[in-house]
A and B are shown apart, each in its own frame.
Chain A
């Protein structure tokens, strides 16, 4: 699985007859037709849009005029502090969120895999539940738990003498990380757990006979074996964190947080399209995000492939 890009060895090398070729076309045709319509088309269309802009003249009552802009929109984006801070925020968010989630997921996968832990099946089911809760609902519920006057959590912390404002300042980034960890922990635990279960028991027994303790077995014997699964989990988590929209958007829409309407690049693109009516800039930001994300996740895949081969 970790070898996302490495081609498989063809198992059925066979000359393609005309009839077979048409069957192949019928089998992969629908996918690529839809793929072209929903991936390639929009990206190309957005790229096209990004080369133009709307110009208002004078006071603007005569409406906008569409003019060719070359790469102006791109230079605008790359000097736009909102876009750049947004990118920075997402990267910072990812730097906190991705390692935290993978570390937690690995720990709990090991715990669930280890005979030491009691009631393993129960924990597994419980931890998985948030995966089924839509991100929007998770955000709304956590928003309530973050809102002073509504939240029993804040009341509880105040009793302990800790006054915390979840929705403002630097804390808000951690509040968002928390929502994402809550939503995705269980899924990643399962990903790693499934891989752990596939390790031949004899390997573990051998380590045990050598006198290794449970923690040592977990870290030294089991984890290296599930590195590919952890890489996959990491890759998906990175892709997921680049999508950051729903959670900050809900906090922003509540009107009571320091999250602005252009807080992440996705939000900037949304705001440009739907609030500012600036389709060309929205398209530019989207293209940049898609390229940036594609490059980033491609790099991670390459690295993980190299690791997996070792």
Chain B
């Protein structure tokens, strides 16, 4: 199968699909701390790939390497099979990578439209803001994602619930022809119903053909939406699962006691 942006086909495996993003033996070191050690990881279009791990396992560092915030020390990042250098958030955005951080980065005093277009406002010939165009596209994006709980796109985001805010942040990320959306702990601060809303949205993104990378340590959420799971432990990828072939117990085991190829302490001794 060569289709990379097939719509529909929820949860159907497309084993031949080229990974849109692939990390090959990526390592990153901060002084004496080996944050990532030869991490391999891939994300395919139309799938939700979860990256799980305990605190300090290297999830955030992985995201920041993909975003170009941290340069990698060794290894390769492949985008659609080709090696790429990502030197900053702008490079990542140019490739079509959008990241929704945990704090969402929304301005409370601005309305939904203003937030979704922040920094990329449409202007008319006379250099004035093209409010009608922005409002229309914003509504289209929200309805295409079935985000229907927003009463008005002209209300300030301060008045929205946590789930609605998360939805807006996700919609903002996918509006820009992005190919890969990375969600950092999207449900961490949400209640039950709102978590539901956001997980539905995550699933819809993948069903529309986007590649979704979900970073979380909430296994319940992950088993609900993810197609594949990669487990990080102490900066190494210790296990990979297909969600349908595994269970929470196996994943927990990998998170807490996954087999390491090198033990950080011993490796430190060897280096010195």
Judge: A and B partners, yes or no: no
